[in-house]
């Protein structure tokens, strides 16, 4: 049995530059990953199958539309004789939450299939399948902080983040990505005004990174808040937490995050939020 993590993807920034002629939105995003997330195991065998368990498994979907199975089937179409088998997914991340849970699961499946079939992780066929399965899957293949551009197909070099303690918070409201992007009202070929993304050094200090992030934004935040107003409450709580240096929504929501100077501050903030909202998904993390 082979096992790997499928960590949460956090969009520290998410700029929408416009909409391309092919219908995809042109993005610019600094992406980081948490240490925690889902766990995917793979046992080689004759038949392809997927078993899902874990606290958020009921919302994950075990049918053919699950991204783990879609990625495996797509890779089998590309590579004749690919060895398949049984996947077991321990689902801990919230679903439809802006943390790329399904995309990270699909990327984990491709990594496991690559290992089981003695393929290089950056085999062009694996990268092409990742792009075909979902726009966030390529950046999740090698889950390290980096810039992501275009529709997710253009990736920058890994960025060595400083110690970045964080609180991740999801108030339990699933947010559909399509309507959030549609609310921007961009037609194919349209450009969107907004300040350019600040440059991020390969090894920024904490102060340098926070200064760059403060100049950034998530252009989907307003649209997501209209779809799920509880996001406004989540952001207010994170911004008001003692020691919070920056709070923002990730992806198309509803997961939000706050960055802190120390792990102790993050743990304390998470404890306070859990006490006030025991039904919310609240985790501490160190982003990388």
Instruction: Establish whether domains 2-155 and 165-286 are of one fold.
Output: no
Average pLDDT over residues 129-146: 97
> Which CATH architecture best describes the domain 2-155?
2-Layer Sandwich (3.30)
Report pLDDT digits (tens) over 189-211.
Answer: 999 999 999 999 999 999 999 99
* 81 class by beta-carbon count within 10 Å (0-12 exposed, 13-18 middle, 19+ buried): exposed
Q: Which of 9, 38, 105, 219 is catalytic?
A: 9
The predicted pLDDT at position 11 comes to 98
Residue 207 among the catalytic residues: no
Give me the catalytic one of 38, 105, 136, 219: 136
In the predicted model, is pLDDT for residue 116 greater than 80? Answer: yes
What's the chain's average pLDDT? 96
Q: Does the pLDDT value for residue 62 go beyond 90? A: no
Q: Is the pLDDT of residue 49 over 90?
A: yes
At residue 134 the predicted structure's pLDDT band, cuts being 50, 70 and 90, is very high
pLDDT at residue number 213: 98
Confidence band for 35, pLDDT divided at 50, 70 and 90: confident
Res 8: pLDDT? 98
Quote the pTM value: 0.96
Domain ranges for the chain, please list them: 2-155, 165-286
Determine whether 9 is an active site residue. Answer: yes
CATH number for the domain formed by residue range(s) 165-286: 3.30.70.890
């Amino acid at each position: 049995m082979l096992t790997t993590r499928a960590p949460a993807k956090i969009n520290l920034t998410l700029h929408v530059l416009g909409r391309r002629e092919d219908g995809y939105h042109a993005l610019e995003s600094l992406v980081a990953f948490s240490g925690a997330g889902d766990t995917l195991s793979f046992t080689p065998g004759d038949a392809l199958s997927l078993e899902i368990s874990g606290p958020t498994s009921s919302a994950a979907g075990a049918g053919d539309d699950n991204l783990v199975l879609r990625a495996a089937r797509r890779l089998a179409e590309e590579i004749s004789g690919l060895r398949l088998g049984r996947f077991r997914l321990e689902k801990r991340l919230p679903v439809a939450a802006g943390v790329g849970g399904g995309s990270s699961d699909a990327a984990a499946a491709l990594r496991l299939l690559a290992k089981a079939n003695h393929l290089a992780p950056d085999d062009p066929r694996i990268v092409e399948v990742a792009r075909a399965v979902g726009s966030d899957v390529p950046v999740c293949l090698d889950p390290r902080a980096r810039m992501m551009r275009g529709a997710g197909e253009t990736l920058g070099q890994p960025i060595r983040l400083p110690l970045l303690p964080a609180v991740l918070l999801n108030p339990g409201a699933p947010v559909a990505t399509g309507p959030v992007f549609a609310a921007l009202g961009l037609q194919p070929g349209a450009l969107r005004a907004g300040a350019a993304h600040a440059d991020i050094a390969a090894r920024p200090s904490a102060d340098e990174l926070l200064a760059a992030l403060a100049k950034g934004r998530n252009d989907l935040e307003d649209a997501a808040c209209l779809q799920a107003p509880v996001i406004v409450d989540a952001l207010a709580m994170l911004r008001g937490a003692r020691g919070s240096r920056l709070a923002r929504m990730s992806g198309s929501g509803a997961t939000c995050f706050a960055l802190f100077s120390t792990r102790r501050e993050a743990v304390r903030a998470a404890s306070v939020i859990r006490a006030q909202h025991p039904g919310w998904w609240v985790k501490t993390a160190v982003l990388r």
